[in-house]
Structure 1
Amino acid sequence: MPGLKLYSVSDSPPTLAVRMLLAALDLPHELVDVDFAAGEHLTESYAQINPQKEVPCIDDNGFLLSESVAILQYLADRYGKNEDLYPRDPQKRAVVNHRLVFNLSTYYQYISEYVMAPIFYAYERTALGLKKTNIGLSVFNTILERNATKFAAGDEMTIADLALVAATMCLEAINFDVSPYPRVARWYADFKGDFPSLWRVAERGMKEIRQFDRDPPDLSGLNHPIHPTSKKRTNH
């Protein structure tokens, strides 16, 4: 029977943000695992589904959509039972959109470069990468302080929090200390405490990333067209 499919990698932060939303919406779906280690995402057959050859991607009864932010917005609009997750008020929605774009352009971008790239590809953790990660945390901390709200875009949890939590859990996976950013630390703890079922979705991915950080996968034969790969590393 046709339905919603999510093309997924179990430890992909953008995918986990979408999976948390599906859980929040209690939306039935089929989870289709894409084997990144085997290069399944680079095949022409997968490119027919998503020409970007990335995850996540959804197939909603023939409607194909990639990019996690677009997917979060679409699912909240189409299947949300109310406006809490993605408000329709123009100003409230603009704030949610800002947080989503901030995560994509800065916060997760910096965290991904520092945490994820050295685990899965031939990149190193550098002083510059650490500096950029701290800049992202500092900006987010300031946003939370100035707005004096419990969550990223207001006093109610929205789809922006899902994306930002999925980014932040990467830091937890490598035991990165966020306590110098008290508002970020409190926001992260509040999300876990208030939404334990959603956090369990992200936590499983976080634990996988933690294990891969200790024992990186060997992707030397992947021949990725953009990211350099090398033999399995013991130090990074």
Structure 2
Amino acid sequence: MTTKLYLNYSSPFCRSVLFVAKHLGIDLHEVNVDLVDKQQLRPEFLKLNPRHTLPTLEDEGVVIWESRAIIQYLCNKYGRNSQLYPTDPAERAKVDMVLDFDLGTLAPALKAVRITKLVTNNSTKGAKPTEQQLTTLKDSLTVLDSMIGKNGGYSAGKHLTIADLSLIPQFLTVTTEELADYMHVRHWYSEITAKEMPYFDEINSMAVKSIEDRTRRLTERADKS
């Protein structure tokens, strides 16, 4: 049975699943969900995922949403011999800890600043993040920078794990200048994407195109309203 991934390349959480699948050599049947046309709200999709979120995985009758749960599932089922998700309890706990930190702290902080900066209609043009949003993001990046420094270049151990592959897609729209104070984060991002992710450029280029297309279509619709 085909393993389907319902996704949109503009979502960093969808790309994290793609990164893990590529790393493990898993062949996914990709089903693009158009967020501008709100295809995620169609009845057939709501039957799969009542939260109407992406990514959503459908594998042999099993349906999973939430990107971190999906990548854990893929590793448990298809990558049992991979170091991406260590089997040692202590090492796995470190990975889970970073995934939880990302879910509860870093990802929301990055999203808050990213969404505020993103020009999607005339009412948000020129908007700037609030001081509280910037402070929260700064604190979160400081924690991540410290973890990477202590681990010698990785977020959750001494080698690449799903924690890294979950975090990296979220930095697509973060500029080098914005990471000026986070030496370890800058080095981590550039080194891993260049040396350990041969699939990165292909997926990243599709993400850029998807984001540009989505922003253009939303802007056009706002101008017509």
TM-score normalised by L of structure 1: 0.83
Task: Give yes or no for contact 2:56–2:65 (8 Å, CA) kept in 1.
Answer: yes
Task: Give yes or no for contact 1:41–1:54 (8 Å, CA) kept in 2.
Answer: yes
Aligned to 1:4: 3
Q: Where do residues 71-220 of structure 1 align in structure 2 (5 Å cutoff)? A: 71-80=70-79, 82-116=81-115, 118-119=117-118, 124-128=127-131, 129-145=133-149, 147-172=150-175, 176-208=177-209, 211=212, 216-218=216-218
- Identity %, equivalent residues: 24
> 1:55 is paired with a residue of what secondary structure?
coil
In structure 2, the CA distance between the partners of 1:46 and 1:18, relative to structure 1 (3 Å rule), is same
Task: Give yes or no for contact 1:37–1:219 (8 Å, CA) kept in 2.
Answer: no
How many residues align? The count is 219
Deviation at 1:117, TM superposition (A): 5.6
Structure 2 residue identity aligned to 1:8? L
Deviation track 1:43-69 (CA, whole Å, cap 9, x = no partner) reads 222110111101000000211000001
Structure 2: segments with no counterpart, 5+ residues? none
Q: Considering only aligned residues, what root-mean-square deviation do their CA atoms show, in Å?
A: 2.5
Higher share in helix: 2
Task: Give yes or no for contact 1:86–1:93 (8 Å, CA) kept in 2.
Answer: yes
Structure 1: segments with no counterpart, 5+ residues? 222-230
Question: What CA distance in whole angstroms lies between the structure 1 residues aligned with 2:20 and 2:52?
Answer: 22
Task: Give yes or no for contact 2:153–2:184 (8 Å, CA) kept in 1.
Answer: no
In structure 2, the CA distance between the partners of 1:190 and 1:56, relative to structure 1 (3 Å rule), is same
- Where in structure 1 do 4 or more consecutive aligned residues deviate above 4 Å? 120-124
TM-score normalised by L of structure 2: 0.87
> 2:128 is paired with a residue of what secondary structure?
coil
Question: What CA distance in whole angstroms lies between the structure 2 residues aligned with 1:156 and 1:111?
Answer: 24
Task: Give yes or no for contact 1:111–1:170 (8 Å, CA) kept in 2.
Answer: no
Question: What CA distance in whole angstroms lies between the structure 2 residues aligned with 1:77 and 1:141?
Answer: 28
Question: What CA distance in whole angstroms lies between the structure 2 residues aligned with 1:220 and 1:108?
Answer: 28
Task: Give yes or no for contact 1:87–1:93 (8 Å, CA) kept in 2.
Answer: yes
Deviation track 1:93-148 (CA, whole Å, cap 9, x = no partner) reads 00000111111111111111111365358764323322222222111112222x23
